[in-house]
């Protein structure tokens, strides 16, 4: 599958990192890139060369050479939807229907959240994601300045939005906080942080409130991150209240999709809904693990892909998944849709890997910068060990990555040209401190409820 290719750009001098001798894999819109033994040169925050080993002489003399023999080099995973600080609620309330889980457990517990809780919960999430090879994530939650600080400190890349519930007291204040997040953090950390507005869902955001959100989005030049059509009950209620319109039809009638939109879930959608999503360029974050656990249903992802919808993969929050392992999510997605369609050819391994990388980047509208290994793109690269017994014999690398590999096989993680994990050790934060502080905050919240 695929073949060798060479990509290079910019000046060859001053190469900071040369990754040497890796098996280079990069999903693409067409044929994926496969280089059995390749090199990647990084200058500053960008990739300047990807191709067979040895790299041209002009890319030698790198300040740092990483011997990647026995490793697979690939783009970092992109988690298209999560709620990072909800790591604090991992295992807190399980095996419940969605609305009961939210109204009886999660929302009451979240009422006790403070900024410090969100900071350490987000730090824990960032550590977990980096360890699993996730280099970018899209997040919606509260106290988002604290999540931004965690992103800044850990070195990961993120698209952040302040969750907005229009039916809650203080909704205008929340919108002001969302605006402030965009003004303060959009483009921050050398572009590692982007920001959106985060209206939670149609059933929590009436039209008058959504009009305010859209007005703010227009003024700020940002997109929106929203939950859509997650459960049958949500869709049924929307149709009853709005003259038979589905949540997606309703949002289209409001003009929401005239903005860049990242829509989480989109489980219960019609052919008409899918047509709208494709025509309007809406990014869909598919969360199969969470949807299975809460029994929300199975999104028609193969049909969406056929219709040209921008589909990526997300984990949702660790309170409803219960981890932030996007490699596991790719495997679940491949298996789930084969079973649902009674067709083992549906969502093959290379396509599942595409969804976890470039597909998610497209859903977030970050594909010009991340999601694949190409000269000129940001150096968001992971190195995965291919020498474990579960990775032998070496028949099909895409099959091995999606169906056999484990997130703990990720050895080194580079984000924006900076090494944030080297040979299994995080370089930007004290992992033990993060674990201890997150445990303290979670136990305090448990006592407060």
H/E element, 17: strand 17-26
Query: Residue 407 pLDDT more than 50?
Result: yes
Digit-coded pLDDT (tens) for 212-265: 999 999 999 999 999 999 999 999 999 999 999 999 999 999 999 999 999 999
325 forms beta bridges with none
Rg (CA), the chain: 21
What is the pTM (predicted TM-score) of this model? Answer: 0.96
Cβ neighbours around 7 below 10 Å, total: 18
Digit-coded pLDDT (tens) for 150-165: 999 999 999 999 999 9
Cα separation, 337 vs 343, in Å, equals: 8
78 forms beta bridges with 136
Per the CB < 8 A criterion, the answer to whether 414 and 42 are in contact is yes
The pLDDT value recorded for residue 97 is 84
Cα separation, 143 vs 160, in Å, equals: 11
Comparing CA positions, the residue from 359, 243, 250 lying closest to residue 310 is 359
Per the CB < 8 A criterion, the answer to whether 197 and 233 are in contact is no
Digit-coded pLDDT (tens) for 260-284: 999 999 999 999 999 999 999 999 9
Digit-coded pLDDT (tens) for 84-136: 999 999 988 888 887 888 888 888 888 889 999 999 999 999 999 999 999 99
Comparing CA positions, the residue from 164, 245, 159 lying closest to residue 201 is 164
Residue 1 binned pLDDT confidence (cut-offs 50, 70, 90): very low
Cα separation, 66 vs 78, in Å, equals: 23
Whole-angstrom CA distances from 325 to 13, 65, 329, 365 are 37, 28, 7, 21
Residue ranges of domains in the chain: 7-75+377-426, 77-363
Per the CB < 8 A criterion, the answer to whether 128 and 120 are in contact is no
Per the CB < 8 A criterion, the answer to whether 225 and 264 are in contact is yes
Architecture of domain 7-75+377-426: Roll (2.30)
* Residue 367 per-residue DSSP state: T
Q: Where is average pLDDT lowest: 55-64, 74-83, 363-372, 381-390?
A: 55-64
Query: Residue 34 pLDDT more than 80?
Result: yes
- Give the SS3 label for residue 251: helix
Q: Where is average pLDDT lowest: 42-56, 58-72, 91-105, 188-202?
A: 91-105
The pLDDT value recorded for residue 112 is 87
At the fourth CATH level, the homologous superfamily of domain 77-363 is: Metal-dependent hydrolases (3.20.20.140)
Comparing CA positions, the residue from 223, 197, 355, 237 lying closest to residue 280 is 223
Locus of tokens 């136990």: 443
Tell me how many degrees the CA angle 332-334-335 measures, rounded to the nearest 5: 65
Per the CB < 8 A criterion, the answer to whether 318 and 91 are in contact is no
């Amino acid at each position: 599958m695929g073949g060798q290719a060479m990509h290079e750009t910019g000046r060859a001098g001053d190469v900071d990192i040369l990754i040497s001798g890796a098996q280079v894999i990069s999903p693409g819109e067409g044929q994926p890139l496969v280089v059995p033994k390749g090199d990647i040169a990084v200058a500053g925050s960008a990739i300047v060369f990807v191709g067979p080993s040895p790299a041209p002489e002009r890319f030698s003399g790198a300040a740092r050479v990483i011997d990647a023999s026995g490793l697979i080099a690939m783009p970092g995973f992109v988690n298209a939807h999560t709620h990072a600080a909800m790591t604090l609620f991992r295992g807190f309330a399980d095996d419940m229907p969605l609305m009961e889980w939210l109204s009886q457990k999660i929302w009451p517990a979240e009422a006790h959240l403070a900024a410090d809780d969100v900071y350490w919960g987000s730090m824990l999430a960032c550590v977990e994601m980096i360890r699993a090879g996730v280099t970018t994530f899209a997040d919606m939650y509260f106290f988002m300045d604290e999540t931004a600080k965690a992103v800044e400190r850990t070195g990961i890349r993120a698209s952040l939005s302040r969750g907005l519930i229009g039916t809650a007291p203080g909704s205008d204040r929340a919108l002001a906080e969302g605006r402030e997040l965009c003004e303060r953090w959009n483009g921050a950390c050398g572009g590692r942080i982007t920001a959106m507005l985060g209206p939670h869902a149609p059933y929590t955001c009436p039209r008058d409130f959504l009009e305010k959100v859209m007005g703010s989005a227009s003024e700020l030049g940002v997109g929106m991150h929203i939950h859509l059509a997650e459960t049958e009950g949500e869709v049924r209620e929307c149709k009853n209240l709005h003259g038979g319109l589905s949540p997606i039809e309703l949002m289209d009638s409001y003009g929401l999709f005239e903005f860049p939109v990242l829509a989480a879930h989109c489980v219960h959608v019609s052919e008409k809904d899918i047509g709208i999503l494709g025509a309007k360029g809406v990014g869909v974050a598919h969360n199969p693990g969470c949807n299975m656990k809460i029994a929300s249903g199975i999104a028609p992802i193969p049909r969406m892909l056929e219709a040209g919808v921008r589909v990526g993969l997300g984990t949702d929050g660790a309170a409803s998944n219960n981890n932030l392992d996007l490699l596991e999510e790719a495997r679940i997605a491949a298996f789930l849709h084969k079973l649902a369609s009674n067709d083992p050819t549906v969502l093959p391994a290379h396509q599942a890997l595409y969804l976890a990388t470039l597909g998610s980047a497209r859903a977030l509208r970050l594909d010009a910068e991340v999601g694949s290994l190409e000269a000129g793109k940001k150096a968001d690269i992971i190195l995965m060990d291919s020498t474990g017994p579960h990775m032998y014999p070496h028949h099909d690398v895409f099959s091995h990555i999606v169906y056999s590999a484990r997130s703990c096989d990720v050895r080194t993680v580079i984000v924006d040209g900076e090494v944030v994990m080297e040979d299994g050790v995080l370089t930007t934060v004290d992992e033990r401190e993060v674990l201890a502080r997150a445990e303290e905050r979670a136990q305090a919240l448990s006592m407060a409820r």
